[in-house]
């Protein structure tokens, strides 16, 4: 009878340890919550924003898939709408991020008051710009996946140890 209470205590400690391990390794989320995935045509784009002047963010803005393609910039601005928020402030209200497609007076499309609008903004004023979110390299599992893996391995080891201790207890009787 005493051996059974030790096994029960070990099981409770094991379960609590598993719970602690799973809580210690939380999952992660994409971007920082500010990103959005939209599909235009048959292509999916992960959109996020950067804030600054055109000159500060020029390299990143010119590397977007819609750079040099006004039609695609307009379609993406319409698809994003205000789903990322309305970080840009104009005289008549807040607007979504700018989707720059040309540096001639920084031509962009923006979601404003329910429509996409073409705007030319100052390249020296700070704006919120729509950009493609960085793509993670490789398919590495999230930290939460590692936690679950280690918790499962620990649980299997704990059960094997309990089975072995029961077998030893039965053999000694």
Pairing of strands 107-112, 127-132: unpaired
Please give the mean pLDDT across all residues of the chain: 76
Residue 15: the pLDDT is: 63
Q: What is the dihedral angle through the alpha carbons of 141, 146, 147, 148, rounded to the nearest 10 degrees?
A: 80
- Check residue 147 and give its pLDDT: 65
Pick from 141, 129, 63: which is nearest to 95 by CA? 129
Q: Could you give the 3-state DSSP secondary structure of residue 86? A: coil
Query: Which tokens sit at 9?
Result: 């205590």
If phi over 0 gives left and psi between -120 and 50 gives alpha, with beta otherwise, what is residue 105? left
Residue 84 CA neighbour count, 13 Å, CB half: 34
pLDDT of residue 27: 39
In whole angstroms, give the CA distance from residue 6 to residue 101.
69
What is the rounded distance in angstroms from the CA atom of residue 69 to the CA atom of residue 111?
Answer: 17
Q: How far apart are the first and last CA of the chain?
A: 13
CA distance 124 to 104: 13
Lowest mean pLDDT among 28-32, 87-91, 102-106, 138-142: 28-32
pTM beyond 0.85: the answer is no
- Give strand ranges (E) for the chain: 36-40, 43-52, 88-90, 93-95, 99-102, 107-112, 115-120, 127-132
- Region 124-138: mean pLDDT is 76
Q: Please state, in angstroms and rounded to a whole number, the distance separating the CA atoms of residues 31 and 50.
A: 12
Contact (Cβ atoms closer than 8 angstroms) between residue 157 and residue 163: no
pLDDT band at 148 (very low <50, low <70, confident <90, very high): low
């Amino acid at each position: 009878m005493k051996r059974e209470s030790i096994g029960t205590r070990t099981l409770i400690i094991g379960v609590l340890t598993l719970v602690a391990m799973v809580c210690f390794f939380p999952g992660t989320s994409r971007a920082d919550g500010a990103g959005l995935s939209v599909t235009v045509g048959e292509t999916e784009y992960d959109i996020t924003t950067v804030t600054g002047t055109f000159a500060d963010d020029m390299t990143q803005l010119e590397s977007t898939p819609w750079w040099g393609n006004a039609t695609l910039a307009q379609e993406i601005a319409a698809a994003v709408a205000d789903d990322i928020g309305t970080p840009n402030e104009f005289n008549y209200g807040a607007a979504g991020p700018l989707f720059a497609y040309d540096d001639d007076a920084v031509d962009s499309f923006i979601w404003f008051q329910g429509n996409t609008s073409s705007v030319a903004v100052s390249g020296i004023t700070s704006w919120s710009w729509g950009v493609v979110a960085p793509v993670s390299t490789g398919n590495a599992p999230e930290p939460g996946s590692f936690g679950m893996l280690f918790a499962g391995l620990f649980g299997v080891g704990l059960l094997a140890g309990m089975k072995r201790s029961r077998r030893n207890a039965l053999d000694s009787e």
